[in-house]
């Protein structure tokens, strides 16, 4: 609205200048492609299954991270602070679950599409983007390798107070990755309730439990 | 009857090289549709190739041949302009015949 | 051969096909049912149905990928250097019904066939060749992988 | 999953079981083996079956108006098929909008043959008249094989679609925060073992945009660009993009213009 207002003022100003200097008619202001693209996003989709139209309604972070170039640091710092505030520690106080269930979740790339059953649990989608256990050769490379995630970070016993900082950071990263990197490609699994507390605990174990194949 | 086959048949040094694509779902009988109902088995059981009145290949297939089957074979004593005819018959009795000219 | 000239041949083949008759539906019983080997559920049983033991042979070549990206389509080529090759069989060891295809090779046809098979999991593919009335065999392994995000 | 074939079900088991037992071979040798597998499949692409059917459909007198598609204008004049594919999407003055191949085929089916375009658009992929469009797409694409993409950008609406398409490509949304760019804006990335083209580069857009329509060995279907985009949005956890909608056409313009100069290999064969 403000932008458009400025533009029309500019147009009037240019027109006035043109009249004064006796030039040809002024050029129309450049089309607002951002606005046009946003409008198309609202009219080109329809709700299907559990994928309703609210999914093309962007939150401020999605809006800020929707161009080829990253927003300036002043913006990302603010976004990260907002996202950090969303992170909730586990209600049970327990950060570590069962790595075997975590492994199944890491393998599972399903959930929340219009063809998935709404009541079905989502997978963690981890192997789509990350290397984890060496035994699984079918892994993606969109994110960094997480092979020996816990071991490389010196976590010998996740229950040890010395590991608390790393355990809490990892929880936060799974809960809302955008708290640490505003325009990260990683979903906000806890914040958007893609995964529940138990699932997050199991993934924590897969990453941090010394017995997990990730740390072999 | 199914959709047309695609037959490529070329002769080199008197040997015909025949490559056939058949349009067929090759249903195993194990697959379930979106409603959970088993899709009945439907697969090509026999493929017969003839040229100049002579059978040049007979194939018998089970359901583990891939969907839209591919078949390649070679026979001797062929020349440009000869015809090769392919006939498939599936387990439901459906059949399809196509012919190509050797080039 | 270039793509264009190949397409011309395809078009020609298609035109002829339109003329060729498709015949009336053959009744189910007009068709000889597949031999019993196709119903065998183990490799052993399926191979036994061929009526004898097969001898290992280096004169049979199986050409197939070491790793198949998708088990739904695995290219398999079998060729034989054995004199008087009469029949070629393809078995996919770990499939529910291992015998997948059999080919009768008349005199004048090369002992060579190429097709594509489904594979439920990583498995050995066995080829059996009947030549001069005797059975010969060899095998090769193909690993099946899964790509994409499983959605 | 609705496309649960035996092979797929078993392949899923394989992923859980036997893949885990594969030696931790160097990724390069795995990549080489997969490249070898793809080479083995390249000859004898079942997409040719759709090309044959599409050619027949193009010439066949059909629909309420008893007409063929032979007078359909795909941008190079009525009835000209050769070279049309590599210049689409483009602006059409009769409809006063930018259309991709599938949108344009809908127009011709309605104006020439009397089909109801809206109804055809609503038909699920692979069924009824939608399946016929898929064959027509395979045929039209095959007539531009090995030709370089050269989408026009002379009409203002074509430039608008490029600019909006670029923005839509980066548009994040849904519960996973994904955009097209999440997977397709860097070089050398993979999802699982599948290579992801960087669609923001000429080479990547040529390889990505330039190989649809394609036969997919995983399900034995021929997927058009509309079907490909539809499934990308499904996996992005977005709502359902309407067939031939502005978003899908704008993305086609952005990708096609980015791919300029790349040679079309469509219809290709894909995993």
CB contact under 8 A, D49 and B19: no
CB contact under 8 A, D44 and B70: yes
More confident site: C11 or A27: A27
Q: How far is C103 from chain B (nearest CA, A)?
A: 4
Full residue range of the structural domain in which residue A95 is found: 49-215
Confidence bin at C20 (pLDDT 50/70/90) = very low
Q: Residue C147's closest chain A neighbor by CA?
A: A138
User: Which pair of tokens denotes residue C125?
Assistant: 């593919």
**Is A15 within the bounds of a domain?**
no
Check residue A25 and give its pLDDT: 59
Per-residue pLDDT of chain A (216 residues; tens, 9 = 90+): 334 344 444 444 444 444 444 455 566 678 899 999 999 999 999 999 999 999 999 999 999 999 999 999 999 999 999 999 999 999 999 999 999 999 999 999 999 999 999 999 999 999 999 999 999 988 999 999 999 999 999 999 999 999 999 999 999 999 999 999 999 999 999 999 999 999 999 999 999 999 999 999
Check residue D28 and give its pLDDT: 55
Check residue D173 and give its pLDDT: 98
Residues of chain C contacting A113 with CB distance shorter than 8 Å:
151
CB contact under 8 A, B62 and C26: no
Instruction: Give the list of residues 6+ apart from residue A172 with CB closer than 8 angstroms, or none.
Output: A84, A87, A179, A180
pTM over 0.90? The answer is no
Residues of chain A contacting C147 with CB distance shorter than 8 Å:
138
Q: How far is B98 from chain D (nearest CA, A)?
A: 13
Residues of chain D contacting C149 with CB distance shorter than 8 Å:
191-192, 235
CB contact under 8 A, C38 and B62: yes
- DSSP for B22-73 reads -----B-S--B-TTSPBPPPB-EEEEEEEETTEEEEEEEE-TTBPSS-EEEE
The Cα–Cα gap between A125 and A137 comes to: 15
- Out of B58, B69, B94, closest to residue C115 by CB: B69
- Interface C-D, measured as beta-carbon pairs within 8 A, has a size of 109
For residue C54, pLDDT over 90 is answered with: yes
Q: Which residues of D are catalytic?
A: 232
For residue D258, pLDDT over 90 is answered with: yes
Which residue from A167, A173, A83, A182 is spatially nearest to A130, judged by alpha carbons? A173
Q: How far is C119 from chain D (nearest CA, A)?
A: 6
Q: What percent of chain B has pLDDT over 70?
A: 99
Q: What is the mean pLDDT of chain C?
A: 80
Confidence bin at B1 (pLDDT 50/70/90) = low
For residue D123, pLDDT over 90 is answered with: yes
Q: What is the CATH number of the domain that holds A144?
A: 1.10.760.10
Q: How far is B2 from chain D (nearest CA, A)?
A: 11
For residue C147, pLDDT over 80 is answered with: no
- Out of A115, A142, A194, closest to residue D189 by CB: A142
- Out of B66, B77, B98, closest to residue C117 by CB: B66
Determine the residue among B68, B69, B88 to mutate to test chain D binding: the one whose Cβ has the most chain D Cβ atoms within 10 Å.
Answer: B68
Check residue C146 and give its pLDDT: 56
CB contact under 8 A, D175 and A192: yes
Give per-residue pLDDT as tens, D140-170: 999 999 999 999 999 999 999 999 999 999 9
Residues of chain C contacting B101 with CB distance shorter than 8 Å:
12-13, 16
Give per-residue pLDDT as tens, D53-108: 999 999 999 999 999 999 999 999 999 999 999 999 999 999 999 999 999 999 99
ipTM: 0.80
**Is A102 within the bounds of a domain?**
yes
**Is A92 within the bounds of a domain?**
yes
- Tell me the residues of chain B between 26 and 55 that have a Cβ less than 8 Å away from chain C: 26, 28, 30, 45-46, 54-55
Check residue C5 and give its pLDDT: 43
Check residue D19 and give its pLDDT: 38
CB contact under 8 A, B6 and D49: yes
Question: A135, exposed or middle or buried, with CB in 10 Å at 0-12, 13-18, 19+?
Answer: middle
Phi and psi dihedrals of C139, rounded to 5? -145, 165
Q: How far is B42 from chain C (nearest CA, A)?
A: 12
Where are the alpha helices (H) located in chain C, listed in sequence order?
A: 3-19, 43-48
Check residue D141 and give its pLDDT: 98
Check residue B57 and give its pLDDT: 98
* Interface check D200 vs A, CB under 8 A: yes
**Is A125 within the bounds of a domain?**
yes
Confidence bin at D6 (pLDDT 50/70/90) = very low
Overall average pLDDT of the C44-55 stretch: 92
Residues of chain C contacting B74 with CB distance shorter than 8 Å:
109-110, 112
Check residue D75 and give its pLDDT: 98
User: Which pair of tokens denotes residue D149?
Assistant: 């993409």
The Cα–Cα gap between D16 and D9 comes to: 11
CB contact under 8 A, D30 and C150: no
For residue D132, pLDDT over 70 is answered with: yes
Give chain A's domain count: 1
More confident site: C20 or A90: A90
Confidence bin at C7 (pLDDT 50/70/90) = very low
Q: Are strands C74-80 and B15-21 parallel, antiparallel or unpaired?
A: unpaired
**Is A21 within the bounds of a domain?**
no
**Is A8 within the bounds of a domain?**
no
């Amino acid at each position: 609205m403000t932008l458009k207002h400025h533009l029309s003022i500019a147009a009037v100003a240019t027109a006035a200048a043109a009249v004064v200097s006796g030039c040809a008619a002024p050029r129309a202001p450049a089309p607002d492609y951002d606005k046009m693209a946003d409008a198309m996003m609202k009219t080109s989709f329809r709700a299907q299954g559990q994928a309703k139209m609210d999914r093309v309604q962007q939150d401020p972070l999605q809006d800020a991270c929707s161009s080829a170039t990253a927003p300036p640091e002043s913006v990302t710092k603010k976004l990260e602070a907002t996202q950090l505030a969303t992170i909730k520690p586990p209600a049970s106080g327990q950060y570590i679950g069962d790595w075997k269930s975590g492994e199944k979740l890491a393998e599972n790339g399903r959930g929340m599409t219009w063809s998935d059953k709404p009541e079905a649990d989502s997978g963690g989608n981890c192997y789509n983007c990350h290397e984890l256990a060496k035994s699984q050769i079918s892994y993606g490379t969109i994110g960094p390798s997480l092979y020996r995630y816990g071991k490389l970070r010196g976590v010998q016993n996740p229950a040890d107070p010395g590991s608390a900082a790393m355990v809490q950071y990892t929880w936060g990263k799974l809960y809302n990755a955008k708290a640490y990197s505003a325009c990260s490609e990683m979903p906000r699994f806890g914040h958007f309730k893609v995964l529940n507390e138990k699932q997050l605990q199991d993934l924590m174990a897969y990453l941090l439990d010394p017995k997990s194949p990730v740390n072999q | 009857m199914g959709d047309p086959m695609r037959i490529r048949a070329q002769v080199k040094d008197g040997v015909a090289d025949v490559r056939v694509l058949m349009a067929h779902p090759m249903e195993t009988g194990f697959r379930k549709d979106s409603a959970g109902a088993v899709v009945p088995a439907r697969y090509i059981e026999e493929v017969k190739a003839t040229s100049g009145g002579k059978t040049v290949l007979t194939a018998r297939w089970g359901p583990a041949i891939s969907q839209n089957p591919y078949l390649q074979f070679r026979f001797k004593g062929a020349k440009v302009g000869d015809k090769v005819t392919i006939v498939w018959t599936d387990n439901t009795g459906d059949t399809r015949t196509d012919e190509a000219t050797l080039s | 051969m270039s793509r264009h000239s190949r397409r011309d041949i395809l078009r020609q083949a298609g035109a002829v096909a339109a003329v060729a008759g498709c015949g009336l539906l053959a009744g189910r019983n007009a068709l000889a049912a597949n031999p019993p080997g196709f119903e065998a559920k183990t490799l052993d049983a399926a191979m036994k149905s061929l009526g004898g033991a097969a001898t290992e042979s280096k004169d049979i070549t199986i050409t197939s990928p070491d790793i198949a990206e998708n088990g739904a389509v695995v290219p398999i080529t079998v060729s034989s250097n054995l004199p008087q090759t009469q029949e070629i069989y393809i078995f996919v060891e770990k499939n529910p019904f291992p015998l997948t295809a059999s080919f009768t090779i008349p005199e004048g046809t090369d002992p060579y066939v190429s097709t594509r098979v489904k594979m439920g999991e990583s498995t050995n593919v066995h080829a059996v060749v009947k030549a001069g009335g005797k059975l010969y065999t060899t095998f090769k392994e193909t690993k099946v992988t899964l790509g994409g995000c499983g959605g | 999953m609705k496309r649960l074939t035996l092979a797929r079900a078993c392949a899923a088991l394989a992923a859980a079981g036997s893949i885990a037992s594969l030696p931790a071979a160097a990724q390069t040798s795995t990549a080489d083996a997969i490249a070898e597998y793809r080479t083995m499949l390249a000859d004898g692409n079942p997409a040719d079956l759709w090309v044959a059917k599409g050619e027949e459909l193009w010439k066949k007198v059909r629909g309420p108006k008893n007409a063929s598609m032979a007078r359909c204008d795909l941008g190079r004049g009525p009835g000209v098929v050769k070279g049309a594919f590599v210049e689409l999407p483009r602006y059409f003055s009769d409809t006063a909008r930018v259309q991709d191949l599938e949108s344009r085929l809908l127009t011709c089916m309605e104006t020439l043959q009397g089909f109801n375009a809206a109804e055809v658009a609503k038909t699920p992929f692979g069924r009824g008249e939608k399946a016929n469009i898929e064959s027509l797409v395979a045929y039209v694409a095959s007539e531009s094989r090995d030709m370089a993409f050269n989408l026009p950008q002379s009409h203002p609406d074509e430039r608008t679609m490029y600019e909006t398409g670029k923005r839509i490509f980066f548009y994040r949304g849904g519960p996973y925060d994904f955009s097209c760019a999440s997977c397709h804006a860097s070089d050398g990335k993979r999802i699982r073992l599948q290579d992801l083209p960087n669609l923001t580069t000429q080479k990547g857009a040529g390889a990505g945009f330039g190989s649809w329509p394609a036969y997919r060995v995983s399900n034995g279907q021929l997927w058009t660009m509309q079907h490909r985009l539809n499934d990308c949005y499904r996996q992005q956890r977005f709502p359902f993009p309407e067939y031939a909608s502005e978003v899908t056409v704008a993305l086609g313009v952005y990708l096609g213009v980015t791919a300029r100069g790349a040679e079309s290999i469509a219809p290709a064969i894909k995993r």
